[in-house]
Amino acid sequence: MTDRAFTVVRTSGRQRIALGVLIAIVAVGASVPLWASTRTARTLISFLTLLAFAEMWNLLGGYAGMVSVGQQAYIGIGAYSLWFFSDKMGLQPFLGVPIAGVVAALIAVPTAVLVFRLRGGYFAIGTWVVAETYRLILANNTQAGGGTGVTVTSAGEMGQTMRLYGTYWMALVVAVGSILIVYFLLRSRTGLALTSIRDNEVASQSLGVRVWRTKLWVYVLSALGFGAAGAVAYLNLLRIQPDAAFSINWTAYTIFIVVIGGVGSIEGPIIGTVVYFALQETLAKYGTWYLILLGAIAIAITVWSPGGIWGFVQRHWNVQLFPVHRGLRLAEAVGPPEDSAVCAVDESGSGEGT
Amino acid sequence: MDWANIILQGVLLGGVYALFATGLAVVFGVMRIVNLAHGDFGILAAYVALVFADRWGINPLFLTVVSCVVLFGVGYALQTGLLNRAMAGGDEMRPLLITFGLAVIIQNLLLEVFSADSQGLDPGSIRTESITITGKLAIGWFPLISFGLGVAVIVVMQLFLSRTKLGRAFRATSDDQDAARLMGIDNRRIYALAMGISLAIVALAGVFMGIRTTFAPAIGGARLIFGFEAVIIGGMGSLWGTLLGGIVLGVAQAIGAQIEPGWGVLFGNVVFLAILAVKPSGFFAKTVTS
């Protein structure tokens, strides 16, 4: 046996086909505002922003094991940054989106220094305290509209069609961008470090993983995504109220989406967002009961099927759309060594072995 | 503006915050999980008292007993039915997600049944009666009783943990779950009892807070945050620490609200974050964060 008795593979033929299909979906998705109704485009904007939230929360909670219930902090900061840079500084409102992401990321650095002192469940509440603190600072600031908030007038004045098209494409960029960030991060060294931290922080530290720095990276990236996507959401909504922009309901929807779709996978949040919107279309008229039902489903899934829908699919069919796992292919294997011959090294799931 | 009075009110309020914190600390101490629905269970208890007070015309002070019993049962059932399953394998994320889901469910169920309006519990004249100490300094009977209750609960919990056989089982499970099981302790039953006790204590907190101010379905998260801040300021693993943490928080909020009406909670958060920055283990920490 030579020392090349096996090769480490990541992409299989089937995944290349999946990649092609995904590119096609994005291409068709980009053309939506040109032919679809305004209502459809608006629904898709909220779909894409929620998808971005879900991917960014999953990066933090699913891949790094840091459960945050305070990511609404960065949605609110993104919204207010959009208003500040477009209405106060006079920048083009669409430029406010990347700037909002950068502002959120900058604020995330000192925030991380504080909340990283807490762990597990206390980290979760700590992030919530921080979000509440930012909300109260803005609600008490009369320069920023105080408790009644502000309206992004520059975006409202730019003309219906241009705002719709621009916001839609921004939403698409933010959603696809958040998926790509997670995808390439997971395929990098940092991705390996990340999952090792989630599974055993002490062990990974003893193997030379720079735990604190890796966590900081992920936290800041997640804040960047939430800030930019939050700005997109408010390009659509225009009216920013501190209680709504910093509402924990944002994070509640996000967590339910991720849990239902599947924690710790790129596919899970996508599926979760689709399920969320499908349920919303049929149940929206029941108001708060819809949220109660979502919560109940999320609890049931966490107790009895922690991998969510995507975990269930994987257990039964062993498919993977985004090749972030490393597979081991033995050299002796003859015949078409497609997915079946590849034994995936588990890098996903919330601690549950495949 | 009388600062002595303001600080005194803050101290007394801290006793109620300590009640919110004690339940949280008991659950974390025994099973290392955090119940994100803790505050919402306190609000639920206040609504339980409200329903019975309306129906039977009983003084809500007596109804705290009913709320405590109901919430103890809810806690026991929650732990055996859901959380024990999710805790298998030492995963700390799943219980956290479950309690977060519960928080959203409780909040929206209360909203659906009782509307978003603020409610109050009226215990009669005791709410407004006070003892005058000097010309300007007066202590209300009800805040004083609330504070005394906070201290009493901590004393009882300390005695329970240090003097009784069951309390020893609690501490053993907290220190080393596997060793405790080898000694014949059923850790799942201990967890269920701990959750029951925790929710019974937060029921006290919820009803007393409901008498002191008003309550509404959406306020549970804020109560959880106050309890949490008291735990961290005081230092994890110390029940007397939570009392001190509650007092620091209560005083900070009272001072903040005096400077500018909207600053009460904000001031409390800022003091909490400052302590987290300077002394993250709190003032009386006994156990290391884990």
Does A274 reside within a domain?
A: yes
Please report the pLDDT score of residue B182 as a whole number. Answer: 87
> Is the Cβ–Cβ distance between A78 and A135 less than 8 Å?
no
Please tell me the distance from the alpha carbon of residue B42 to that of residue B210, in angstroms, as a whole number: 9
- How many domains does chain A divide into? 1
How many angstroms separate the first and last alpha carbons of chain B? Answer: 44
B104-116 mean pLDDT: 94
Which residue in the set B34, B222, B277 is minimally distant from A124, CB to CB?
B34
Q: How far is A242 from chain B (nearest CA, A)?
A: 14
Range of the domain at A288: 6-344
Does A1 reside within a domain?
A: no
Please tell me the distance from the alpha carbon of residue A172 to that of residue A158, in angstroms, as a whole number: 20
Containing A222, the helix (H) or strand (E) segment is: helix A211-237
Alpha-carbon distances of B166 from B162, B169, B175, rounded to whole Å: 9, 5, 14
A330-342 mean pLDDT: 49
pLDDT one-digit tens code per residue, B143-172:
999 999 999 999 999 999 999 999 999 999
> Is the Cβ–Cβ distance between B208 and B150 less than 8 Å?
no
* Structure tokens belonging to residue B201: 């204590």
How many angstroms separate the first and last alpha carbons of chain A? Answer: 28
CB-based contact A121 B265, cutoff 8 Å = no
Residues of A in contact with B104 (CB under 8 A): 252, 256, 291-292, 294-295
Does A85 reside within a domain?
A: yes
pLDDT one-digit tens code per residue, B180-206:
888 888 889 999 999 999 999 999 999
Please report the pLDDT score of residue A353 as a whole number. Answer: 35
Which has more pLDDT, A318 or A114?
A: A114
Does A354 reside within a domain?
A: no
B53-76 mean pLDDT: 90
Please report the pLDDT score of residue A331 as a whole number. Answer: 63
Mutate to test the interface with A, among B31, B98, B100 (most CBs of A within 10 A): B100
Whether the pLDDT of residue B253 is over 80: the answer is: yes
Please report the pLDDT score of residue A11 as a whole number. Answer: 67
How far from chain centre, in Å, is Cα B167? 20
Residues of A in contact with B229 (CB under 8 A): 129
B6-33 mean pLDDT: 92
Does A297 reside within a domain?
A: yes
Please report the pLDDT score of residue B1 as a whole number. Answer: 52
Please tell me the distance from the alpha carbon of residue B27 to that of residue B19, in angstroms, as a whole number: 13
Residues of B in contact with A128 (CB under 8 A): 221, 225
Which residue in the set B112, B260, B277 is minimally distant from A288, CB to CB?
B112
pLDDT one-digit tens code per residue, A199-253:
888 888 888 888 889 999 999 999 999 999 999 999 999 999 999 999 999 999 9
Residues of A in contact with B109 (CB under 8 A): 292
A288: nearest CA partner in chain B: B108
**Range name among A15-19, B30-34, B109-113 with the lowest pLDDT average:** A15-19
Which residue in the set B91, B100, B108 is minimally distant from A288, CB to CB?
B108
Residues 6+ apart with CB under 8 A from B32: A120, B92, B290
Please report the pLDDT score of residue A327 as a whole number. Answer: 66
Whether the pLDDT of residue B42 is over 60: the answer is: yes
Interhelix angle for B165-175 vs B141-163, to 10°?
A: 80
Q: In degrees rounded to 5, what are phi and psi of residue A327?
A: -110, 155
Does A350 reside within a domain?
A: no
Residues of B in contact with A253 (CB under 8 A): none
B251-279 mean pLDDT: 92
Please report the pLDDT score of residue A16 as a whole number. Answer: 79
pLDDT one-digit tens code per residue, A7-38:
777 666 777 787 888 888 888 888 888 888 88
A98-103 mean pLDDT: 97
A86-103 mean pLDDT: 94
Please tell me the distance from the alpha carbon of residue A34 to that of residue A258, in angstroms, as a whole number: 30
Please report the pLDDT score of residue A351 as a whole number. Answer: 39
> What CATH number should be reported for the domain holding residue A221?
1.10.3470
Confidence of residue A86 (pLDDT cuts 50, 70, 90): very high
Residues of A in contact with B113 (CB under 8 A): none
How far from chain centre, in Å, is Cα A348? 16
Please tell me the distance from the alpha carbon of residue B41 to that of residue B47, in angstroms, as a whole number: 10
Which has more pLDDT, A186 or A52?
A: A52
Q: In degrees rounded to 5, what are phi and psi of residue A342?
A: -95, 120
Confidence of residue A337 (pLDDT cuts 50, 70, 90): very low
Strand partners, A240: A150
Whether the pLDDT of residue B250 is over 60: the answer is: yes
CB-based contact A289 B280, cutoff 8 Å = no
Mutate to test the interface with B, among A58, A302, A350 (most CBs of B within 10 A): A302
Confidence of residue B133 (pLDDT cuts 50, 70, 90): confident
Contact pairs from chain A to chain B, CB under 8 Å: 136
Share of chain A above pLDDT 70, in %: 89
- What is residue A337's DSSP assignment? -
A321-330 mean pLDDT: 70
Please report the pLDDT score of residue A345 as a whole number. Answer: 44
Whether the pLDDT of residue A271 is over 90: the answer is: yes
Does A142 reside within a domain?
A: yes
Please report the pLDDT score of residue B145 as a whole number. Answer: 92
Please report the pLDDT score of residue B124 as a whole number. Answer: 79
B129-140 mean pLDDT: 79
CB-based contact B100 A255, cutoff 8 Å = yes
ipTM of the complex: 0.92
> Is the Cβ–Cβ distance between A202 and A130 less than 8 Å?
no
Q: How far is B76 from chain A (nearest CA, A)?
A: 17
CB-based contact A121 B34, cutoff 8 Å = yes
Residues of B in contact with A351 (CB under 8 A): 89, 91, 93
How far from chain centre, in Å, is Cα A189? 20
Please tell me the distance from the alpha carbon of residue B266 to that of residue B261, in angstroms, as a whole number: 10
A265-277 mean pLDDT: 94
A282-307 mean pLDDT: 89
Share of chain A above pLDDT 90, in %: 55
Please report the pLDDT score of residue A340 as a whole number. Answer: 42
Whether the pLDDT of residue A42 is over 50: the answer is: yes
CB-based contact B97 A67, cutoff 8 Å = yes
Q: How far is B150 from chain A (nearest CA, A)?
A: 22
Whether the pLDDT of residue A61 is over 80: the answer is: yes
Which has more pLDDT, B110 or A336?
A: B110
pLDDT one-digit tens code per residue, A245-258:
999 999 999 999 99
Residues of A in contact with B79 (CB under 8 A): none
pLDDT one-digit tens code per residue, A104-160:
999 999 999 999 999 888 999 999 999 999 999 999 998 988 889 999 988 888 888
Residues of B in contact with A72 (CB under 8 A): none
Alpha-carbon distances of B246 from A260, B8, B46, B205, rounded to whole Å: 37, 13, 20, 12
Confidence of residue A195 (pLDDT cuts 50, 70, 90): confident
Mutate to test the interface with B, among A283, A292, A294, A301 (most CBs of B within 10 A): A292
- What is residue B140's DSSP assignment? E
Whether the pLDDT of residue A344 is over 70: the answer is: no
Work out the mean pLDDT of chain A and round it to a whole number: 87
CB-based contact B112 A132, cutoff 8 Å = no
Share of chain B above pLDDT 90, in %: 62
Q: Which of A318, A132, A348 is nearest to A242 (CA)?
A: A132
CB-based contact B93 A140, cutoff 8 Å = no
Residues 6+ apart with CB under 8 A from A262: A268, A269, A271, A272, A307, A308, A309, A310, A311
DSSP string across A171-214: HHHHHHHHHHHHHHHHHSHHHHHHHHHHH-HHHHHHTT--HHHH
Does A351 reside within a domain?
A: no
Which residue in the set B105, B225, B276 is minimally distant from A296, CB to CB?
B105
Mutate to test the interface with A, among B104, B260, B265 (most CBs of A within 10 A): B104
Work out the mean pLDDT of chain B and round it to a whole number: 90
Residues of B in contact with A135 (CB under 8 A): none
Please report the pLDDT score of residue A4 as a whole number. Answer: 59
Residues of B in contact with A294 (CB under 8 A): 104
